[in-house]
Chains A and B, each alone.
Chain A
Amino acid sequence: MMFSVILSTASRYLLPLLLIFSFFLLLRGHNEPGGGFVGGLVAAAAYALYFIANGIDEAEKLLKAEPVKLIAVGLLLAVISAVPSLLAGKNFMSGIWLDTNFPVIGKLGSPLIFDVGVYFLVLGIALKIIFSLAEEDK
């Protein structure tokens, strides 16, 4: 970590901003630039920043979930997004949509679940890689 009160303070206040932004990117990705991948990376960036500023232990404490679990959940969601199509007897991974309209998100549907899966997975892998390397450091 870097012994900089300035950086660490900044990182604490940037974290929520970045996270909200990452959600924003994720949810609107279907209609505007963004999506699960970039969203996940921004979230990961937030944690990466926090880790650099406050050290690996702090960062791991902050992130309650074990990254591997995040990865698993991500993949799981991606697979689950295909379940509705199978239940509906449609082709595998056919999009099943609710007929409602939310701001930002737009329609809710199985592809969205898929994208959320991507989000978690990307977050998980980025953090797993960075944290493994960081622990290697200590």
Chain B
Amino acid sequence: MIEIISGIFLLAGSSFILISAIGLLKMPDLYTRMSATTKASTLGIGLVLIGTAIYWVDLGIAARAIAIIIFLLLTAPVAAHIIGRAAYFDKVPLWEKTHIDELKGKYDEDSHELS
């Protein structure tokens, strides 16, 4: 029974991972790619880990799995944020269909101060 559940988690998780990978390939610009992947991969990996935790009925393993998940939840968005803003400084182009950009011109080129 446990094995079934964990198996399902694994499959679900890995599919999310696959989706995020596809997203990374398919999305038009860096920003959209990031919005797509940060979530999907985080969730996917989370599910896989839960699957693993369930498989070994062991507090230690579960703890490790949870540790990783929490850590991912803490860091993934931060990573996305700093890459995103760095990309913006770096003038990484937005997809042409991006119709609003309220950030345009708000940055001070030199000091990177944001008004």
In the complex, is A directly touching B at CB under 8 Å?
yes
With A10-B74, A10-B75, A14-B74 in contact, do A4 and B82 touch (Cβ < 8 Å)?
yes
User: Is there contact, CB below 8 Å, between A3 and B112?
Assistant: yes
A129 within 8 A of B: no
Cβ contacts under 8 Å, A14 to chain B:
74-75
* B78: Cβ under 8 A from any A Cβ: yes
Q: How far is the CB of B56 from chain A (nearest CB, A)?
A: 15
Interface size class of B (residues with CB under 8 A): 10 to 19
Q: Write the B2-34 contact mask toward A (1 if CB under 8 angstroms, else 0).
A: 000000000000000000000000000000000
Return A29 CB to nearest CB of chain B, in Å.
16
- CB proximity of B61 to chain A, nearest CB, Å: 12
A7 at interface (Cβ–Cβ under 8 A)?
Answer: yes
Q: Are A2 and B82 in contact (CB under 8 A)?
A: yes
B residues contacting A by CB (< 8 A) are 71, 74-75, 78, 81-82, 85, 112-114
A4-B81, A4-B85, A17-B71 provided; 17 other pairs, C-beta below 8 A?
A: A2-B82, A3-B112, A3-B113, A3-B114, A4-B82, A6-B78, A6-B81, A6-B82, A7-B78, A7-B81, A7-B82, A10-B74, A10-B75, A10-B78, A13-B74, A14-B74, A14-B75
| 20 A-B contact pairs sorted by A residue (CB < 8 Å) | A2-B82, A3-B112, A3-B113, A3-B114, A4-B81, A4-B82, A4-B85, A6-B78, A6-B81, A6-B82, A7-B78, A7-B81, A7-B82, A10-B74, A10-B75, A10-B78, A13-B74, A14-B74, A14-B75, A17-B71
